[in-house]
Amino acid sequence: MTQLPITLLRCKAVIAKTGLVRSAIYREMVNGDFPKPIKITAKAVAWLSNEIDDWILSRIEAGQRSFEGQNFVDAPVDDKLKLTHGPRKRPCLEPALKNQPKK
């Protein structure tokens, strides 16, 4: 657990801190994979900063474990793309060609 001072984070701050969109935050909460907020007034909720920090650390650790045993850093560029983005697709050049000056 982190030992930072505990603050209350509203939704916009949680979105900024995690990089998730609002719908993903609530979907992960329903799945039990994201901290639940606390009620701070009749109409407002907030998340505890230490719980969000712990969640971020757990995602970092899970991400590092998922790449263990894979030589990701030393892999050729094509292999890195396959690991992160699936099979490489042929780039679409049409928009780039439209912006070319006519000869």
Q: Domains in the chain, start-ordered, CATH in brackets?
A: 8-69 (1.10.238)
* Alpha carbons 103 and 94: distance in angstroms, whole number: 17
3-state helix, strand, coil in the chain (%, to 5): 50, 10, 45
CA atoms within 13 A on the CB side of 48: 13
How far the first Cα of the chain sits from its last, in Å, is: 63
Residue 3: per-residue pLDDT: 63
Give the distance from CA 35 to its chain's centroid: 15
CA distances from 87 to 66, 79, 81, 91 (A): 19, 9, 7, 12
Dump pLDDT digits (tens) for 66-92.
Answer: 766 665 555 555 554 555 555 555 555
Confidence band (pLDDT; 50, 70, 90) for 54?
very high
Residue 21's pLDDT band, with cuts at 50, 70 and 90, is very high
pTM of the model: 0.61
